[in-house]
Every structure is written in structure tokens, then in C-alpha cells.
Structure 1
Amino acid sequence: MTLLVRPFVAGLYAAAPFIDKVWSEAKPSRLTDWIRITRDIRNRRFDMALLLPNSFESALMMLLAGVPQRVGYATEGRQWMLTNGVTAGSKSVHQMQYYLDLVKVISATVESPSIEIEATAHERNTARRLLAREGIPIEAPFLVLSPGAAYGTAKRWYEDRFANVAETLARELGFYVAVIGSEMERPILAFVSELFARRRFWREKHRWKR
């Protein structure tokens, strides 16, 4: 099984045991790039393409690449390009279930889906070094917060609520807290970290006053 994804998510699947190869390509910005990717797909002689994106472009690429079986949702006027076009169900279902309903068409087992993310040995060693550098014992429980989100604030939880969660779990369960994100999200991470530190300091100060 080969997974074709954008470079910014390729790392999530690097250690996935059910994937033989992760193939990453940036979104084609020129016709020559689009033709090159289509030609590469043709040269690899895939038996089937499971199209998770609902775009017209993704179905056209697989059709022109000569992939014999093309499974996807019959949206965006692309029904004629699919060998197995599936009528989309309710949009209110979770995204995972939306994809699993598509996978059922190829008779895959979907009774007990897993959303675990595997890490490579190198990634685990890097994480241990980062924890040690920040003074977090390797055996200690810790919480990882990722307060950022793509496409602006509409998909993002409030920063003060992230800080509340961090402070509560640190106080009640003894968790260490790590705040992570992309370079563009650095201001958000700094704000959440500062809020968390202030609230923890305030509680400690008032605890000692009693």
C-alpha cells in the first residue's frame, strides 16, 4: 500500500505498520508538475486508487494515470471517472466514519478502527532528549497541548481554556505540561504557556497564604 500525501502530513505516517511506502508531493502549481505526478502514478502500475479527497482533480489524475479501479465519493461531477462511485451519506458524521464508509466498498475490515499514531525509534529518542532537556523525567506523566489550528481562529479552542486544562491536570494529577505547535503558531504557544504559568503561580501563592 502506498499513501500519496502532502509533505506537511507525511511524517504522521512514516512509522505506520500498514503502509508500505509514504509518497509525498506538494500541490501541483504548474501543469508540468501535474503531468509529472500523473506519469509517476502510471509508471508504478497501481491496481486500485482509494480517493479520500473529493476533488475533481484527484479523480482525473487517477483516470489519466490508468489506475484500473478508482474508488471515491461521487461528488464534484466526477462520477464518470470512478469505477466505484459512492454516494456520500450524512455530512454530520465524524470524518473518520465518513472515510470508513468509503473503505467498506472494497470489503476492508472496519469494525475496530484505530487512530493511533506510530512513532519511529528516531522520533522516540528525539522526544526523550527534549523531555530531559526541559527537566521532565522520562517516567513522569505529561500532557501535550497543541492549541493552534489551521485556517484561523474558527477551528481553534480559546487559549485561556487550554491554560485552565493544563493547570487543572498539573495540580490534580501531577502532570508535566508541554505546549507544541508550528513556527507560525509560536505567539499562541507563548500566550498559553504564560497564562498557565501565571495561574499556577497564583494558586501556589494563595495556597501558602492559607
Structure 2
Amino acid sequence: MSDLRPLVPEEDPLPRVQRMTRLARSNDPAQVLVVGPSWVGDMVMAQVLFQVMRRRWPRVQIDLLAPPASAPVGQRMAELRRVIPLEIPHGKLALKARRALAQELQPTDYDWAICLPNSFKSALVPYWMKIPVRSGFRREMRAWLLSDPHRLNRRKLPRTVDQYVSLGLPPRLPQPQQLPAPRLQVDLAARDLTWQEFGLNPSARVVALAPGAEYGPAKRWPVAHWTRLAQALLQSGYEVWLFGSPKDAPITQEIAAQATGAVDLGGRTSLLQAIDLLSLAPITVSNDSGLMHVAGAVGSRVIALYGPTPLQMTPPLSAHAQVIRRELSCSPCGKRECPLKHHRCMEEIEVSQVLAQVLGSPTSR
């Protein structure tokens, strides 16, 4: 951190920051740079912030700085002017690359930056750009990089989406009682090309299954359960499409191998293609994952399977989502792997219970 401190301006910046804070928060901010999260699900939740900002400041121009894993989600957000790729490997500090990016972006003359991730490194580019107002939570000893540091009160703001929205609201305004659901745009022309490429039937009764979870195995419903669900759905006359990232491909392949007729798209689609295809599925069954949030944001009715995740932190935000979970004394633990080695919170979610939710859904009739 010692190589960063000399970059602090010698003059006292506080009076200017105060003036710019009043300008950005009281009048219309002109250009805002948002540093986006790395997780796909968190990026979908960030879209709620963009809706709130555009409703308050209809003419504001919002640019998103995001890593490759989540940047494609931003391409489907109507509120954004552009998405700027952050081509730095996840977890890398990469001071030179971030400094070079700051110099490249500085001519845009942003008057406000919002850092959604809580990491130290996520605040570096706005700081080096000398954006007058830099908002974010006081985390990882980075408060000196921010001109508008917020204290995170998890009791007051338990959900990630509430935390994001609070960073984009003037401090004098109360948190909205109700937030809009996330909305992602669907590229209809690209969707047509995609279903043709994979030989899919866009008019079929489709149930999408998303059996992966990037965060860790504790979030995943067992493969055997997914397999039995897929088999039951196929026997009931549904088409089953399996979605997932390349990391999820072994899981989707195992399910498809035992559920004859299921279409394995795991690792075969881009994230943008998955966004478009999920809009064709009236129902999506998913672990707590990025694809769960994507499915809800494109209009699919989500049946979400929760185990170790604190539901109050990252619940599905679509209006008609249904959550299935087991109430156990050890959950939610928030761990990537079950610390007790039994994984009961997911193992004990019955296939029959999930199937009943699918068959009883209005969209399945």
C-alpha cells in the first residue's frame, strides 16, 4: 500500500469533494462509472441499482466497468451507455494494468464513481482517475481511496441488492420500501440463431435446469436428484434443457447421460446465449447461482433450491420465484463446502417436492 499513498493529492481535496458531492447528489450527475461485481448473480442484482438511478436521474449516463465473467450481463441492461471490460484475472492486484486503464478512461470526465465490490483493488481505478465523488463501503482498509465512504449496516441492509441501491442514493433519502425486479434484455435475433444452432424447439414445453453453482459444492443439489427430476419431467412430456458454465459441464453431462432426451447445453453456450435461451423456458429449476438470477430477470419462473446460503442476503428477486429449502439447525452456514460433511441441507430436498412445484406451476399447464 506504500506505493499508492504518494498518489494522494498534496492539496486538501475535501472542499472540492463536498461541492461535488452536493452536485452529484442534489442535481443531475452527468456521467457515472460503476465498478461492477465479478459474480454473475451479483451483476444481475446491480441492474436494480441502475433502474433506481435512471428513474431519479433520467438523463444520467452510466458506464459499467466489469470483469469478463460478468461483463456480458451488462450488455443486456438498457440503462447502461457502455460496458468497459476489465481484462485483469480475478483476484490479481495488477497495479500497472489498473493504472493504465485509469489513464485511458480519464478523458471521459466522470463526476461520480460507485464501487460495488468491497475489495481494495476495485477502488483503485476511480481513485487514479481522480473522479470527484467515489462511493463505496468501508472495507479492506480502502476508505482513503473513497471520497464518499459508507458504513455497511447489515442489519439495516441485509440483502446485497439493498446494499447496492444504498450506494446510489443521496444520503438524505430513505431506502425504497419496494425495489423493482431485475430486468435483462433479450436479443430476439440472436436467440433465433442460437436455438437453430443447437437444434432446439422454441415452442416446446421447456423446463430449464441449472445444476451448477460457481461458489462451491455446498450450494449444489446432488446430481442423482437432478437426474431423477430430469427423468420425471421427460416422462411427463416436458423438454429438459441443462444449463451451466464450462465448469459445470461434467455435471450436466452426467445428468444427460442418464436422462435420455435431455438437451445438454452445459459449457456449450456463451453467457449471452444462455440469457437468450432461458427466456424461452417458462420454468427454471436452479441452485442459488448466477443463472438463477438470470432466469428470473428474463421472465422464467424460478424454483430455487437453497441450502447453505443465507436467504435474506441473496434471495431470488423475481416476483414469482419459489424457494425450496430445509430448515436445519446447521444452515445456512454460508460455507463453500459442508463443514459437517453430510450436506443434509441439500440432500434432504426431495425430488418429489421439486417436481410438485414444477407440475403445479401455472406456466406448466
Q: Same fold (TM over 0.5)?
A: yes
Does 1:38 find its partner at 2:102?
yes
Deviations 1:74-115 (A, max 9, x none): 111222322222111227933223322333347699533222
**RMSD over equivalenced CA pairs, Å:** 2.7
Tell me what 1:139 maps to.
Answer: 203
2:181 paired residue among 100, 107, 114 = 114
Percent identity, please: 24
- Partner in structure 2 of residue 61 of structure 1: 125
TM-score of the two chains, using structure 1 as the length reference: 0.78
> What is the one-letter code of the residue matched to 2:185?
E
Higher RCO by CA contacts (8 Å cutoff, separation 6 or greater) = 2
1:158 to 222, 227, 235: 222
Among 49, 68, 79, which residue is 1:18 paired with? 79
Counterpart AA for 1:181: G
Per the TM alignment, residue 26 of structure 1 is displaced from its structure 2 partner at its CA by 1.9
- The separation in 1 between residues aligned to 2:190 and 2:74, in whole angstroms, is 12
State the Cα distance separating 1:140 from its structure 2 match: 2.0
Closer, same or farther: CA 166–109 of 1 in aligned 2, 3 Å: farther
* TM-score normalised according to structure 2 size: 0.47
1:2 alignment partner, one of 50, 57, 63: 63
Residue 95 of structure 1 corresponds to which residue in structure 2?
A: 160
Larger helix proportion of the pair: 1
Alignment-mate amino acid for residue 120 of structure 1: D
Unaligned runs of 5+ in 1: 199-210
Q: Structure 2: where are the runs of 5+ without partners?
A: 1-61, 262-365
1:50 aligns with 2:111: no
Report if aligned partners of 1:160, 1:195 keep a CA contact under 8 Å in 2.
no
Q: Give 1:191 deviation, angstroms.
A: 0.9
CA gap 1:156/1:41 in 2 versus in 1, 3 angstroms:
farther
Residues 148-204 of structure 1, C-alpha deviations (whole Å, 9 max, x = no match): 2224413322222323443444445x4311112223322111112234339xxxxxx
What residue number does 2:239 align with? Answer: 176
Q: 1:60 to 1:121 in 2, by over 3 A?
A: same
Q: 1:166 to 1:104 in 2, by over 3 A?
A: farther
8 Å contact from structure 2 (residues 98, 124) kept in 1:
no
- Alpha carbons of structure 1 residues 147 and 113: separation in structure 2 relative to 1, 3 Å: same
Cα 1:123–1:94 shift into 2, 3 Å: farther
Aligned length: 194
When residues 170 and 118 of structure 1 are mapped into structure 2, their CA distance, relative to the original with a 3 A threshold, is farther
Deviations 1:100-159 (A, max 9, x none): 23333476995332223222234322333146x14x2x2222122221222441332222
Amino acid of the residue matched to residue 119 of structure 1?
A: V
> SS in structure 2 opposite 1:8?
coil
Q: Deviations over 1:27-57 (max 9, x none)?
A: 2654331221121232221111111011112
Q: Secondary structure of 2:114's partner? A: strand
Mapped pair 1:187 → 2:250: yes
